[in-house]
């Protein structure tokens, strides 16, 4: 009787073990399927866009698309050169990065390691509110308010913006560099060296800001709908992304590394530059890539306030000229091209969309490789 119960218990335990393994496999399979849906969605998007983009390359070839600056899709004969559009996209993205990355990383550093917790709790929601504003509202502001200001008082406006953004950045840089200089002198002279470095660096920074601000105040802007307008607005739109991701990366470093650095005699500037930022480098790089992608993929602002001129600015990095971007061209011309589905004018828009997808995909791959290299070096 005891042997029968033992055998029954053994059979039940085997059945329960099989059921447990089956449930585990079913759960893992379900999770794998859910995870794979995003991959399938991306592959489907690539296939759908490439299917309509390849006929254009078969008819027109790659050379005209990437090298010609003549964009006359409704001309006779039509021209589909997008070199100027790619240049406009790159110029606007570069301007947005120059605005968003320094401000975003500086703000993230201040919130994670400099500002008090109570102040950070008030500042961070205000910055994140910028991400909740619809892009069409930004575009309306850029077209109706910011463009006339740039055209009428552009020089004074840029000079004021330089002082507003330059003074905090210069103050932070002065504090960090002065602290680094002071640690290289004997202890008895460190305090006065630090104060002297701050004074000298502050005066130099003010002199540089005064020189650049004087030049900007005399600048004349002929049209307010230009690359500069769009770059500034896109930079402001990308700031919340850069700040949020960078600040999370800096906070993830943890207090133990900071306290260990302080225990070894490092100053706050040394800890910030040599411990915290290298440890959070992969997250900061990811924040920059996300900010760039935010600028590249924006449509409404560039469509409304860039001027939509398919031309290469002269000189090349002249942000005061109207430009045209890939996203604005796709959004603006798709309605006119719908009635000629299958034609070159229709397919060229999908070729642009495929180029945008390729740029985003390559950028993400580069960021992943860079982040993996940093993790290996830290490991």
pLDDT of residue 185: 66
| CA distances from residue 333 to 50, 77, 93, 234, 346 in whole angstroms, order as listed | 18, 17, 21, 22, 9
Residue 261 in this model has a pLDDT that exceeds 50: yes
pLDDT at 220: 79
* pLDDT confidence bin for 1, thresholds 50/70/90: very low
**Distance between CA atoms of residues 247 and 108, nearest Å:** 5
d(CA 70, CA 85): 10
Is the confidence at residue 36, as pLDDT, over 80?
yes
pLDDT band of 93, cuts 50, 70, 90: very high
pLDDT, tens only, 314-355? 877 788 889 999 898 888 887 766 555 557 788 888 989 999
Spatial distance between the Cα atoms of 283 and 243, rounded to a whole number of angstroms: 11
- In 116-254, at which residue ranges do the beta strands (DSSP E only) sit? none
Q: Give the C-alpha separation, 114 to 107, whole Å.
A: 10
Residue-range domains of the chain with CATH:
71-378 (1.10.3720.10)
Residue where the block lists tokens 């207090």: 255
Q: What is the pLDDT of residue 133?
A: 87
Over the stretch 288-308, which tens digit does the pLDDT of each residue have?
888 888 888 888 889 888 888
Who contacts 233 (Cβ-Cβ below 8 Å, separation ≥6)?
138, 139, 141, 142, 146, 301, 305
Query: pLDDT tens-digit profile of 161-208?
Result: 888 878 877 887 887 777 777 776 666 666 777 778 878 888 888 888
Q: Looking at the predicted structure, is the pLDDT value of residue 13 above 80? A: no
Calculate mean pLDDT across residues 350-372.
82
- Strongest mean pLDDT among 113-122, 178-187, 224-233: 224-233
**Mean pLDDT estimate for the chain:** 82
For residue 234, what pLDDT is reported? 92
pTM above threshold 0.85: no
Q: Are 349 and 77 in contact (CB under 8 A)?
A: no
Q: From residue 240, how far is each of 51, 137, 248, 367 by CA, in Å?
A: 36, 16, 12, 19
């Amino acid at each position: 009787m005891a042997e029968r119960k033992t055998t029954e218990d053994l059979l039940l335990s085997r059945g329960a073990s099989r059921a447990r393994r089956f449930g585990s496999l079913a759960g893992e399979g379900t999770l794998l399927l859910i995870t794979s849906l995003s991959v399938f969605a991306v592959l489907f998007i690539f296939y759908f866009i490439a299917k309509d983009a390849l006929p254009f390359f078969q008819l027109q070839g790659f050379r005209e698309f990437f090298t010609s600056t003549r964009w006359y899709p409704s001309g006779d004969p039509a021209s589909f050169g997008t070199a100027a559009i790619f240049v406009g996209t790159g110029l606007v993205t570069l301007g947005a990065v120059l605005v968003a990355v320094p401000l975003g990383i500086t703000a993230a550093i201040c919130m994670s390691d400099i500002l008090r917790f109570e102040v950070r709790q008030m500042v961070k929601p205000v910055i994140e509110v910028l991400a909740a504003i619809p892009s069409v509202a930004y575009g309306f502001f850029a077209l109706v308010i910011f463009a006339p200001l740039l055209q009428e008082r552009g020089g004074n406006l840029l000079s004021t913006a330089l002082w507003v953004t330059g003074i905090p950045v210069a103050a932070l840089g002065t504090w960090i560099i002065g602290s680094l200089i002071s640690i290289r002198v004997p202890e008895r002279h460190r305090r006065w060296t630090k104060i002297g470095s701050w004074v000298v660096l502050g005066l130099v920074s003010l002199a540089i800001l005064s020189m650049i601000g004087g030049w900007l105040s005399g600048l004349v802007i002929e049209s307010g709908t230009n690359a500069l307008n769009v770059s500034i607005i896109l930079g402001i739109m990308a700031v919340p992304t850069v700040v949020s991701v960078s600040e999370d990366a800096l906070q993830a470093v943890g207090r133990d590394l900071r306290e260990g650095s302080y225990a070894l005699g490092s100053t706050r500037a040394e800890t910030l530059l040599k411990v915290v930022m290298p440890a959070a480098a992969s997250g900061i790089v990811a924040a920059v890539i996300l900010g760039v992608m935010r600028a590249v993929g924006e449509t409404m602002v560039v469509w409304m306030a860039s001027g939509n001129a398919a031309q290469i600015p002269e000189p090349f990095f002249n942000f005061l000229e109207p430009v045209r971007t890939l996203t604005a061209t796709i959004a603006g011309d798709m309605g006119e091209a719908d009635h000629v589905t299958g034609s070159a004018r229709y397919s060229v828009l999908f070729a642009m969309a495929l180029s945008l997808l390729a740029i985003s995909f390559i950028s993400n791959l580069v960021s992943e490789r860079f982040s993996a290299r940093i993790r290996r070096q830290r490991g």
